Structure 1
Amino acid sequence: MKKPHFPHYLDRKWLLLLLTTSVLFLLLLLTVTLAQPRFSSPSDFAYDQRQLAFLDRDFGDGNDRLGLPKLPRLAYSLTGTKGDGPQLRRLLQALYHPRNYYVLHLDLEASDAERLELAKYVKSEALIERFKNVMVVGKGNLVTYKGPTMIASTLHAVAILLKKSKDWDWFINLSSSDYPLMPQDDILHIFSYLPRDLNFLEHTSNIGWKENQRARPIIIDPGLYHTKKSGVFWAKERRSMPASFKLFMGSEWVVLTKPFLEFCIWGWDNLPRTLLMYYTNFLSSPEGYFHTVVCNHKDYQNTTVNHDLHYLKWDKPPKQNPVALTLEHFDEMVQSGAPFARRFAKDDPVLNKIDNELLRRSGDRFTPGGWCQETSVLHKDKCLVYGNPNVVKPTISSKRLEKLIVKLLDSDNFRLKQCK
């Protein structure tokens, strides 16, 4: 059999060493993540759920008093790379709500100055300082495009949220090129009616061309042992399809429950660890890791909703990349009912239209909600004065999201599209 070929003419001995090293580094990264979450300044960003307990204790859950379901809490991971600091800041402002949690991560390609600037902004906001629900990762992880370091970075964010904030219900991962299509009040309102065990992720076992281009190739992510970003290494040898579990693939953008993610992190049986090792040498692991875990475990395979709650416009076949959304896509985005959309170019005019017409957000400020009490027309910041953070005032967008959710949970769609 021919030796696999790598850029540096690695022989079989070195290939085996790299494969082993990749697994060890990925597991080590996860172990370090669980033990020592890192922030720009622990004194600035360290907190626990007791510091947010006053939301329900002092104000009471607004829904409780009206006989409505208890409002959930959402945990966001917002990620970017070099030059994405301003976009992450804008995304945070568009998504911010006192009930939620946020972890912001600029990868290692971004400079320390960019991370510091982002951390300074978070620290300077009186509202964020009051609720202490935003964390900035101080030491960026190296993330290789299409490599397993992408899923490692996501698991890092999940581990931080599990350790530092105990009371959230759903985890949502977004990049700097994503943007919300409705206020958080709408999402919280509709999600308050949902079972807390539903996992939203686009998935299928009919992987088609991805079998040959994703599952069978063997890749090495240099981001596991290098300090500079580069492309993945490819081996000439290919592997067979697994026999002990079934592969599922889909979108890397997910809305996942806390119990399921606790299972992925703590792994009280071997499935999450086994699949973590398998996906170490898998191209575009975020498109398959969570999907394969959830669909291969009896406790979670009936909790899936086959949608990632994003609006995307794909390029022409083979439809591998979403096109950049512009003003011409605005009406389609709105009518989709999806709470999020991607991919947006930096400062594209359509973002201003979303701010003005959907979020009612002005300038460099937060999206207003029921927790905002500023009524003076002299102030552009509608949340300069805030009241009960547990009161939500849904907009017309909530009706569109409700329509989408009802369609997804309809008996003709829900069970028939679970882990198939």
Structure 2
Amino acid sequence: MRLLKAVYHPRNQYLLHLDAISSDEERTKLAHSVRSVKVFRVFGNVNVIGKADASDRMGSSSLAAALHAAAVLLKINGDWDWFVTLSSSDYPIVTQDDLLDVFSHVPRNLNFIDHTSDVGWKLYQRVQPIVVDPGIYLARRTRIFYASQTRPAPNSFKFFTGSPWVILSRSFMEYCVTGYDNLPRRVLMYFTNVLLPLEAYFHTVLCNSPQFQNTTVNTDLRFLVWDTPPKSDPNFLNLTHFEDMTNSGAAFARRFQEDDPILNKIDSEILKRPRNGVVPGKWCSEDRVDVNIVEPGPFAVKLSKLISKMVAKENIRSTQCKF
């Protein structure tokens, strides 16, 4: 709920999902918590998945949950431009007025996704092994398991990998969900048995599609701190990271521990979010509510500079898919 209130704006659509390992009581409590906030009721743009999907980030159930979420959002209200994935370990480091203002000047077909075709060691640990995620077909979650045999790398498409945290265009998500040509379905069949598919599926479809391969910007717009050499997850952020984080120009940061003091500092110094309230925006600052008015602040300038640099004509090609 803290994350939801930190990223809330009436213009956006929100879909909350607790995976199948959570209890029905927890899901009901989340739905009641959403209904208890007046602004969410008034604008009706926050929804909760009632029947949970399994979601093991190591297996294809996590990819299925992401595609299901996109399909639900397209059905609920297709009036949105980008599909943004967030977990409860994420937090914004710009206001929604900042984000909406900056992205209003960005071509709607761009996809912000950290990606590379330099698979390296992942070829032997991610591409060739065959894994089975029981969450796809069993009601109860069990651990994924490996087949005894491996398979050759695909030759009908090039494998790409990168960050699992993405900001993808609505047109591309429609392409993935509807599968109006064979590529998304063919790649999905292969990725049903790939380890950590969220780190490669969207990347691979984007970069193998003639329609979308020139729409990528090679960043996930996240601030992260990694060990050297990197572990499977970035480090938890704390107050010592605050200055670097605010100077990064990123839109979001991760990972945060629940109620860490750095979250209070972000609320007070960046978001200006009152305790237990949503981030105040221009839309709610006047006697008459107008959700189409935004008032960007200083952190919008940093985000705008980062994006403008990456999508400039002389730089955009260097951030796009390379075979």
TM-score normalized by structure 2?
0.97
Provide the rounded CA distance (Å) in 2 between the counterparts of 1:273 and 1:321: 29
In the alignment, structure 1 residue 350 sits paired with structure 2 residue 262: yes
Q: Which residue of 1 aligns with 2:218?
A: 306
Percent identity reads 52
Deviates more, 1:136-145 or 1:101-110: 136-145
Q: Which residue of 1 aligns with 2:30?
A: 118
Provide the rounded CA distance (Å) in 2 between the counterparts of 1:122 and 1:210: 40
Residue pair 1:93, 1:367 contacting (<8 A) in 2 also: yes
Output the amino acid matched with 1:396: P
Output the amino acid matched with 1:308: D
Q: 1:402 aligns with which of 291, 304, 310?
A: 304
Output the amino acid matched with 1:157: A
Which aligned segments of 4 or more residues in structure 1 are displaced greater than 6 angstroms?
Answer: none
In the alignment, structure 1 residue 368 sits paired with structure 2 residue 280: yes
Residue pair 1:314, 1:320 contacting (<8 A) in 2 also: no
In the alignment, structure 1 residue 322 sits paired with structure 2 residue 224: no
Q: Which residue of 1 aligns with 2:142?
A: 230
Which segments of 5 or more consecutive residues in structure 1 lack a partner in the other structure? 1-88, 375-384
Aligned positions of 1:368-387 closer than 5 A: 368-373=280-285, 387=289
Aligned positions of 1:13-412 closer than 5 A: 89-373=1-285, 387-412=289-314
Provide the rounded CA distance (Å) in 1 between the counterparts of 2:116 and 2:279: 35
What is the count of residue pairs matched by the alignment? 322
Output the amino acid matched with 2:301: K
Q: Which residue of 2 aligns with 1:54?
A: none
Q: Which of the pair has more CA radius of gyration? A: 1
Residue pair 2:57, 2:198 contacting (<8 A) in 1 also: no
Provide the rounded CA distance (Å) in 1 between the counterparts of 2:13 and 2:266: 23
Q: Which residue of 2 aligns with 1:18?
A: none
Provide the rounded CA distance (Å) in 2 between the counterparts of 1:318 and 1:125: 40
CA offset digits 1:92-132 (Å, max 9, x no partner): 00000010000000011111111111101111222111111
TM superposition shift of 1:386: 6.2
Q: Considering Cα pairs closer than 8 Å and 6+ residues apart, tell me whether 1 or 2 has the greater RCO.
A: 2
Provide the rounded CA distance (Å) in 1 between the counterparts of 2:305 and 2:227: 26
* Secondary structure, counterpart of 1:347 in structure 2: coil
Residue pair 1:295, 1:301 contacting (<8 A) in 2 also: yes
Output the amino acid matched with 2:51: K
Residue pair 1:144, 1:230 contacting (<8 A) in 2 also: no
TM superposition shift of 1:183: 0.5
Residue pair 2:226, 2:235 contacting (<8 A) in 1 also: yes
* Secondary structure, counterpart of 1:219 in structure 2: strand
CA offset digits 1:9-33 (Å, max 9, x no partner): xxxxxxxxxxxxxxxxxxxxxxxxx
* Secondary structure, counterpart of 1:106 in structure 2: coil
* Secondary structure, counterpart of 1:162 in structure 2: helix
Provide the rounded CA distance (Å) in 2 between the counterparts of 1:182 and 1:194: 17
TM superposition shift of 1:145: 2.9
TM superposition shift of 1:412: 4.4
Provide the rounded CA distance (Å) in 2 between the counterparts of 1:320 and 1:137: 28
Provide the rounded CA distance (Å) in 2 between the counterparts of 1:168 and 1:119: 23
